[in-house]
Each structure stands twice: as C-alpha cells, then as structure tokens.
Structure 1
C-alpha cells in the first residue's frame, strides 16, 4: 500500500525545524503519528524493533511529502540501545525536540499464567522503556529550554481487561508518570502529556486469536461516535500536543476513544 502525505505550505507546518522521535513507528498508530508529524514540518526519527521494511515504507512516504527523517532499529528494553538511538538521532538529524512514546506490546496472558518473567517483560516494554527514552532525551531538551513528551497510554489503564493485567498496569503507570514528569520538567519549557486511545483499528488486531477479538459492532455500540477509531485520530492529538498551540497544556490525558469513557 502506498502511503501519501498532504502537501502543506510552510505557514501550515508549525513543527518546521523540530526533530521528533517516535517509538514503535513502523506500523499502526506509530506510523500514522510519524506521517502526521512530518506533515506538520518535523524531521522524524522512525524508531522500530527489527521492522526494517515497514519503517522504510514510512520513511519513503515522509520523503515524498517533502519532509525528511531516518529509521533506526533499537531494542528499547536495552538501556544502551536507547542511549545509542538518541545519540544517533542527534548526530544525523539533530537533538530530539519531540518524543512520542508509542512502542508497546500486549500479549494476552491469563492472570494465573502471568509469572514473574512475563510480568517484568510486559512492564518493561510498556512502561520502563518509556522512562528510558525520557531520561535519554531530556538533558538536551533542558539545555535548549524546549521540549514535548507525549506518552501513548490506553483506555485499558482505566477499565482493565482479562488477559491484559500487566499491560493495563503499565499503561496506568504512564498516567502517573505524565503529571509527575510534567512538574519536574515544566520549569525548563518542557511539556508532558498523554494520549489515551480507545479501540483503534490497526493491522495488529488481525494477529490476535479469534476469541480475543472484540466484534466491531459491539465496540461501536459502547461509543458516542459510531465508527471505528483510526490511527490518524490518535496522530492528530499527538500533533496538537507537540505544537506551539499546546505550550500551556501539560500534565494532561486526552481520551481519543469516540466517547467510550466520558470524563
């Protein structure tokens, strides 16, 4: 499938001159977010874990639209790899101004089968990895007195789901990390916010066992907006948080779920 980006005049590219690092950027929400940030003018770093073909497809779309970027494979559970990722970004396209913590995994494991290793592994990729990326990018943000950190959580952080206890716990951790980090970094011109997606239609859901897939009509019935959520819906919220328009918005969590969980 060919990916395209809208051609926008410079006046409509509020992130021109900024570098955005998106983790889990080769597919789904991450790929849509990367394309949207590039359309807003950002130079993008497409971080992925051994998804080279998909990442290069996203990068080609970015370049066809007149933006630029790089793709980097990195295991975010390895602290040294995270340090190298951020260092490579800085040397090739510039220090990271915008960090989107999107990478994650949600294997379905029943509570009684969730042993210590499984628990640690799921929390590592869905929470601790994001702490590592924040730690790696914030020194340069503090030096420049500007930065945007956007965490991608999930409605499962608030409602839970059988088989996703560790995942839901990790995503809830992001809801605690966000306001705490916002207070730490606010004096340095850095905002920290969270986007909380609902049921978003991505290709990865096709890899789930049939008995774990929610029927689309059942999900739509829970929402106020009667359609499936799309990765681009989440990407639009990320671009807002990354933009100059959100300079006074921090420590917030924004649900992009079609009204599934009204505040």
Structure 2
C-alpha cells in the first residue's frame, strides 16, 4: 500500500518518533509539507494564525495518514507568542526535532509605495519571525544533539521582481540566515537548509489583484519543465532534508522551480 502523497510504502516511515513543527501549515506549501512529514511518520504541530478550520482539516488528514499531531495558533510577530507556541508543542507532543519555517506574507508595493512601515513589515513576516521560532527551538536540539531546520525562501530572492523589493530582500536574507546558522549549529548535529520554490500553484495566488497575477503560460515559459509547480513538489524536498538521508547536507539552497534558475 502506498501513500497518495509520496508513493512510499506505509512501512517506510523514516521520521517515526520525530516531532515536526511547520509554520504557516494551514494552507499551500505548509499544508502539503505537514501531510508529507506525517506520511513519513513524524508527529506534526500545525502552526497557523487564526485559520483554525483549515488547520483542523489538515490535522484530520494527518490522522488518516496514520500519524498524530496538534494545531497551534500563534502570532509569530509577537516574541511572547512564539515562546508560548513552542512550550505548547513541547508539552503536548514533545520537543521539536524538525522545524519548517514556512509562514510569511506576499506584500506587493512599488518602490515609490515602499515606506519605512511597509519595509519593516515585509522583513518581519518573511525573515525575523523565522529567527524567532528557530531561536526558540534550537536549545533543545542542541541538548539532544540532533535537529533539522528547513527555511522556505523564494526564487525571487535571486531573480528579483518589480513590486517585491522588500519581500525579495527578506527571502534573500533567509538564505544568508540559513548558511550562517548551519555553521553555528553543525557541531551539534543540526542541519539547516533552505528550499527555494519557484512558481508554485497555491490558492493564495487567486487572492491577488488581476494586474499582479502572472499568466501561467508566462511562468511556464521561464522553466525547463513545462508545468506549474505544485505544493507537493516542495514538500517532497523538505521531507528529504528533514530525514536521515540528508544528515550530511547543510547550508544548502535547493531550488524547486522547474529549472527556472540554474543554481
């Protein structure tokens, strides 16, 4: 019997006994990652902010896959809320072994519209929150001498795009953050990597104003593989980086973009 997500036998559960916290896990890449980690055997904490119905839906799918988990709501821009979230996860399902920093926002502002407030907000929700959550879980990883941190960046960190200067800057900063943290934590058996998704088809893109949406055929024309990327494409890479097969992989940036940019 195989899982619908990974095509793996249900007996092949390399993350059995591990606890994974995924932020921004109620929808899109985060939800797909949560399901994939659960299919690999991890107990999952579904991080979200005021998306209780969707988070509970993901949790139901996790249980159908034969794993367990919880949903946990937190405003990651509040340092106290981050601490409480990590304490809740630890108390209910155990200390975090695997952290997937996926939460973020996609604010679009022209350069002329980018003021101090817009700039600070974009960096906070796409970079600083990942520092906060990572800082809250790494002391436990160091004590146990094992851990995985996977940060979700964006192809715009390298390609750039009009209207996304602050967003692209934050996502580029996430790559530097991952590389430096990999050097800090490597001696403690902790691997830190970044995934760099390209044009992934998620529900959130439907909420963008029409004039901000790229045509699918234009997106596909940039790639070597002529199809839209899917959240499961990113999730599969994250599960690899979270697992035992990636124990000698750290400080890397893995593009999942259909060959949009050659890395």
Q: Same fold (TM over 0.5)?
A: yes
**Which residue of 2 is the match for residue 214 of structure 1?**
214
- Paired with 2:176 and 2:88, the residues of 1 have a C-alpha distance of 29
**Which residue of 2 is the match for residue 37 of structure 1?**
37
**Which residue of 2 is the match for residue 192 of structure 1?**
192
**Which residue of 2 is the match for residue 122 of structure 1?**
122
- Paired with 2:124 and 2:215, the residues of 1 have a C-alpha distance of 30
- Paired with 2:159 and 2:118, the residues of 1 have a C-alpha distance of 21
**Which residue of 2 is the match for residue 144 of structure 1?**
144
4+ aligned runs moved over 3 Å, structure 1: 4-11
| Contact persistence 2:5–2:232 (CA under 8 A) | no
Q: In 2 relative to 1, CA 233–5 (structure 1 residues): closer, same or farther, beyond 3 Å?
A: closer
Residue 182 of structure 2 corresponds to residue 182 of structure 1 = yes
Shift of 1:8: 5.7
**Which residue of 2 is the match for residue 56 of structure 1?**
56
| Contact persistence 1:5–1:65 (CA under 8 A) | no
TM-score (norm 2): 0.97
Q: In 2 relative to 1, CA 45–164 (structure 1 residues): closer, same or farther, beyond 3 Å?
A: same
Q: What do residues 3-59 of structure 1 show as CA deviations (whole Å, max 9, x unaligned)?
A: x76796564100000000000000000000000000000000000010011100000
Q: What do residues 105-133 of structure 1 show as CA deviations (whole Å, max 9, x unaligned)?
A: 01111111111111111100100000001
Moved more, 112-121 or 124-133: 112-121
- Paired with 1:210 and 1:11, the residues of 2 have a C-alpha distance of 45
- Paired with 1:127 and 1:48, the residues of 2 have a C-alpha distance of 16
Aligned residues: 261
- Paired with 1:21 and 1:256, the residues of 2 have a C-alpha distance of 21
Unaligned runs of 5+ residues in structure 1 are none
Alignment of 1:1-263 (within 5 A): 9=9, 11-263=11-263
- Paired with 2:42 and 2:75, the residues of 1 have a C-alpha distance of 24
